[in-house]
Amino acid sequence: MPDYRYHVSGQGVVELSGKTFYLGTYDSPESRAKYFALLQIYNGNGLSIPDDLSIVHQQDVPVSVRCVTAEFREHVKIKYARSPSHNGRLTNLCKLLEDEYGDEPAAEFGPRKLAALRDTFVASGNNRNYANSQTRSICQIFKYGVARELIEVSVLQRLETLEPLRQGQTTAKETKPRQPISLEVVRATARYLSPTIKAMVMVQLATGMRPSEVFAMRPRDIDQRGDEWIYRPDSHKTAHHGVTKAVPIVGDARLVVARFLDRPSDQYLFSPIESAAWHREQRSLARKTHKSCGNRVGSNLKKDPKRKPGEMFTKDSYRRAVVNAAKKAEVEHWTPYQLRYTAAAAIREALGIEAAQAILGHTKAAMTEHYAKSTEAKAIEAAKVGPTLGAGFLDG
């Protein structure tokens, strides 16, 4: 990153491709945003400035949409540093804005242009909820621009006048509500899952956790001091509201987790590397050619493959493993998130809605310490009646 520097004229400057660009009053929000916007163009063009970008006195150029998105990109790098999915989604939205309206003055981006982008989401086959969500996120980008004093609040107010798409009043398709998945389907799918993925499925079903909370489990996050084991994830969906989540690890979940505690305290319990190794072993066992003939086992593995298993699963890699296994088992399509619904349905039927809310973590951010302890007790009670696949599921 070429430096943002002070110039004797009182302006902030940056030197790119042998040209000095004057950005406006040093350390002002506008000059910083123009600096980030120029860097983005510079890096995207192979570390050089395009020939058609000849205006070096950027202080005379209005704040563009690209300036707003460039500043927002820097913001999400920090805010969503631990959430690659959020970071990626918002970064992609910034790129869309830049491709379509990047060089236009941000003050001229209004509801009609926002509606045109929303129509693009719908035309691409996305559902109504997704189109509305992406539209709100674009408003979030411009809201940050207001907070950074890059644009007037009136720009955001105009964008917010665009009404969301309503059910029955748009050509956008509707989402199908998630449904619980039957245990019979899960058992059939398990025949094609690695022991690692089986373990994750078993833990998620027993606890009702979100997929991201399951594959982020580490030994150090599990409190084993009391009668009941409690998993306290470092990060979770409602952490930014001040909610401290405590997940009881009892029954099936405890049996499974105990098998994966034989690793360093900061290492993830469920390893994609171990899962990939199991699949290689199964392919080797299923090999019909005698070992004395054909390729030697493992000889066709690439020394430096482009795609390597990571240290932890992602929601996409976990979902793909389950979806592919369900397809091989010739059962209905299902995803790991449906296990959360299956657990909630079973617990609600046995103990009521409060128990289901407790184990799923649906609590208020401003709860008192007494209420937090009460919720944990209810969660432990709920976990004991959660759905089970049986002790032999993992070894089957």
pLDDT at 137: 96
Q: What are phi and psi of 328, to 5 degrees?
A: -65, -35
Which of 76-85, 131-140, 244-253, 270-279 is most confident?
Answer: 131-140
Per-residue pLDDT at 371 exceeds 50: no
Q: What is the pLDDT of residue 156?
A: 96
pTM exceeds cut of 0.75:
no
Give me the pLDDT at residue 240, please: 47
pLDDT digits (tens, 9 = 90+) for 37-63: 888 888 888 888 887 777 788 888 899
Give residue 357's pLDDT band: very low, low, confident or very high (50, 70, 90): low
**Confidence band for 243, pLDDT divided at 50, 70 and 90:** low
What's the chain's average pLDDT? 83
pLDDT at 368: 26
**pLDDT-derived band of residue 177, with 50, 70 and 90 as boundaries?**
confident
Q: How far apart are CA 330 and CA 80, in angstroms?
A: 38
Beta-carbon contacts of residue 74 (< 8 Å; ≥ 6 apart): 36
Residue 364: pLDDT above 70?
A: no
Which of the two residues, 44 and 268, has the higher pLDDT score? 268
Residue 162's contacts (CB-CB under 8 Å, 6 or more residues apart) are 111, 114, 115, 118, 135
Is residue 129 pLDDT above 50, yes or no? yes
Whether 159 contacts 142, CB under 8 Å: yes
Please write the tens of the pLDDT for every residue from 190-229. 999 999 999 999 999 888 888 989 999 999 999 998 788 9
pLDDT score recorded for residue 221: 93
Q: What is the pLDDT of residue 247?
A: 85
Give CA–CA dist 6/22, Å, rounded: 10
pLDDT classification of 341: cutoffs 50, 70, 90: confident
